[in-house]
Chain A
């Protein structure tokens, strides 16, 4: 589904992503972990098409060249990004925003627009996934929302958009354990054979709730280690110390604490 080859991203002279390779198959959940400043968020923004980066390499979604597309075309192709810092849009209510978003991608795909009534059913279902209160639809997008509400709103949006690939950027940051559970359960119910997930996180805690098929460690702009869930558990115990000091050879070395 998603194929990323030698992806680089820089701002001015600073190279942030130094050649990332990643393949995500249909229905798979991949976790990308890494210390602060390793390029995790940049990776998400590079896929979503944020302005301001110099991008190299290739990235395709279902064979379509993502990097050649505007952000809105990438959304129409089925890419969704859950923002680490969701943006406030005062005066625009969530209902209007969500329906515009949904109908924009449907129009771009040549599909019929969703009627007001059908939309309400879709929105109700999406809100129920993360226990969003009923007045949510009439409040302005993220304006005056608590941190937890903003993150839940991202999942509501994901549920409405029904993407092929969702990239969730630190969806767990700033959440207490109850909120984390609610959000994880919302995300889990959106898993399916045709939908892939990339979960970007700093802590393995989230992965207790959203179990990944693959875990990748991103350090200093490169994926230095890939493995299954146990890799995340290792990081939980030992931190990134194995990777940050001498990342280039890290993949070939036994991990700290591993039996020799």
Chain B
């Protein structure tokens, strides 16, 4: 604790410490989106014909689609033709050797607290580092290969494991799924690919670290994780971006395939630049995340969303196989002028399927926080069970918290529970902590972290500490 408190103090100077930008020599496409740009991206990446066609199909679909307008979000119009859809550091790293990583990129990740040198790395976490659109390095490849685990950038997987990619890409989130998923499918640049063979328990945590660096570029990563029968994997992603006055677009897609009796645990600590005190700048974060759980499989999403000006995100589970399990644990923080509309969809198809949802929303400043969740029980899902708990914490008087649960049940044997609460941090709680010697800010941070405890407990150790720290920093200046 003392260490945590001290580091909060140190960071009180700059409330968004990842706001620096790095001068990387970057290869960038002219602004605008058309068929030629899609072809350019595909050819830059030396992709097979089938993938180009897949992209073009997505692009054609996207042209006919409209942005979703049902979320409780107030978004300035986005000019999709003003963005650039391809940016990559010019120096092409040799992916097999850590020593060949551009020193400037290495420095950037060091500054972010994510050393890419394996000997200095967090033990037992393999990292894929993605700058702007391109994976720059993946660590611990050899160790993983021994276990038969494939962990590489999606671009590499397209080259080295085309059949696996072709089989699963778009199998959970089809190209026409929604406006942003279609856009991503057309122009996705890179992302991570994980494949865990049958019966293998991945020997370490897998992690992708996303960094937006370039100006006026959209970032469109795509992550695909496949766990074969009886496989286990825990995967983490972290994200940051420089402080810039313009809004930047981030539209990612994540697909999880959990085969029979397998388990995928997916954790996110999202800290994209949220914009300043007046709501200027910040990342627009439109993300489609979905997993398909086969028989007796389990998919667990944990997310800590502290960044972004706009968050539109509903990590979901299709509970297809009998007895499959879906979990969603979420902390979403909206301060300043941040808006978050986030939640989950649990689609029960198989019999005896179970889902649980624990969502914690924290609002401060002028932040607006909406939980939006769907629990859908299909006719085939006999004895489906769901438990949902939504708690909102209001810290200021100009912020808002909203809970919008949708429940659709087509099989009468289902058991659905929903609990919701809204509270404020009490003067009594603050006074009690201060009487015990804590400063008001430390007390606030402790109380809010306590509110999020159930979710933080789901995060792997290192990331739980990171999440607590992030939350404390994001709340700087929210008392008094």
Contact = CB atoms under 8 A, between A and B. Distances in A.
Specify whether A and B are partners. yes
Interface of A: 48-51, 70-72, 74-76, 80-81, 83, 86-92, 96-97, 99-105, 107-108, 113, 140, 157, 161
B438 A90 contact: no
30 contacts: A49-B434, A71-B435, A75-B435, A76-B437, A86-B432, A87-B432, A88-B429, A89-B429, A89-B433, A89-B447, A90-B451, A91-B451, A91-B452, A92-B446, A92-B447, A92-B449, A92-B453, A96-B446, A97-B446, A99-B1, A100-B438, A100-B446, A101-B436, A101-B437, A102-B437, A103-B1, A104-B436, A104-B439, A140-B453, A161-B437
A97 B440 CA distance: 14
A91 B450 contact: yes
B449 A100 contact: no
Contacts of B433: 89, 97, 101
B5 interface: yes
Nearest to A45: B431
A75 B429 contact: no
Contacts of B67: none
A101 B438 contact: yes
Contacts of B2: 99-100, 103, 107, 113
B276 interface: no
B13 to A, nearest CB: 19
Contacts of A140: 450, 453
Q: Which of A76, A91, A92 has the most CB of B within 10 A?
A: A91
Contact of B437 (A72, A88, A90): A72
B296 interface: no
Contacts of A50: 431
A108 B5 CA distance: 13
A87 B434 contact: no
Contact of A75 (B427, B436, B447, B449): B436
Candidate in A49, A50, A89, A102 with the most chain B CB atoms within 10 angstroms: A89
A75 B1 contact: no
B230 interface: no
Given A89-B429, A91-B452, A96-B1, A104 B438 contact: yes
B436 A161 contact: yes
Interface string B427-469: 1110111111111101000110111111000000000000000
B396 to A, nearest CB: 17
B426 interface: yes
Given A83-B435, A91-B451, 18 more contacts: A48-B435, A49-B434, A50-B431, A72-B434, A75-B435, A75-B437, A87-B428, A88-B429, A89-B446, A90-B450, A92-B449, A92-B453, A97-B436, A97-B446, A101-B433, A103-B2, A104-B438, A104-B439
Nearest to B9: A107
Contacts of B440: 70, 72
B5 A100 contact: yes
Contacts of B452: 91
Scoring B2, B437, B452 by chain A CB atoms within 10 A of each residue's CB, the highest score goes to: B437
B438 A72 contact: yes
Nearest to A80: B435
A83 B450 CA distance: 21
Interface string B406-432: 000000000000000000001111011
A145 to B, nearest CB: 14
B431 to A, nearest CB: 6
Given A90-B450, A97-B446, A103-B1, A83 B438 contact: no
Nearest to A108: B437
B453 A71 contact: no
Contacts of B427: 51
The 5 lowest CB-CB distance pairs between A and B, nearest first, are A91-B450, A91-B453, A92-B450, A101-B436, A105-B437
Contacts of B434: 49, 70-72, 75
Interface string B62-87: 00000000000000000000000000
Given A100-B446, A101-B438, A104-B437, A91 B432 contact: no
Contacts of B426: 87
A113 B4 CA distance: 13
Contacts of B454: 91
A69 B427 CA distance: 18
A99 B437 CA distance: 11
A212 B48 CA distance: 88
Contacts of B1: 96, 99-100, 103
B297 to A, nearest CB: 30
A86 B432 CA distance: 8
A77 to B, nearest CB: 10
B269 to A, nearest CB: 18
A80 B433 CA distance: 11
A89 to B, nearest CB: 6
Contacts of B439: 72, 104
A135 to B, nearest CB: 16
Nearest to A72: B434
Contacts of A96: 1, 446
Contacts of B429: 87-89
B262 to A, nearest CB: 31
Contact of B435 (A81, A88, A108, A113): A81
Contacts of A101: 433, 436-438
Contacts of B451: 90-91
A71 B431 contact: yes
A107 B439 CA distance: 11
A101 B449 CA distance: 16
A99 B433 CA distance: 12
Interface in B106-125: none
B449 A91 contact: yes
